Amino acid sequence: MPHCPRCHQSVDAQAVSCPFCRTPLKAYGHPGIPLHRATEDTYLCDSCTYHLDDTCNFPQRPFAKECTLYQDVTQAQLKASQQQYKRSFGAHFRSWLKQYQFWLLILGLLLLSFLIAL
């Protein structure tokens, strides 16, 4: 369960504002639009993908304390490396199948003959 950035109480993930201190937690009062907030002496832009790849043109950049589009660069990098791992695992598995397809076919035929003999 997420915590309120101001009073640090546990709050519902869908809460539009904190029920304890009334801090807005979602943008435009909509539960589907997260409102990211920087901690006291940092700026969101310092760790945002769009600042680092220079694609953000929001006027509050590079000193945004609140932002709806913030994307944590560490999360984006983690996601990219997980996708790359999945892709490389799939490619490795396909090449393994290709390499041993003859022996897999023989093994399959042997199993089938055992099943028929029983």
Q: Residues binding ligand SF4: what is the number (CB under 6 A)?
A: 13
Q: What are the C-alpha distances in Å from 95 to residues 37, 72, 88, 98, 102?
A: 46, 35, 11, 5, 13
50 binds ligand SF4 (CB under 6 A): yes
Q: Which is nearer to Zn ion, 16 or 76 (CB)?
A: 16
Out of ligand SF4, Zn ion, none, what residue 61 binds, judged by CB under 5 to 8 A for its kind, is: ligand SF4
- The correct pick among 61, 65, 73, 76 for binding ligand SF4 (CB under 6 A) is 61
- Residue 87 exposure: Cα atoms within 13 Å on the Cβ side: 6
Return residues touching Zn ion (CB under 5 A): 4, 6-7, 18, 20-21, 23
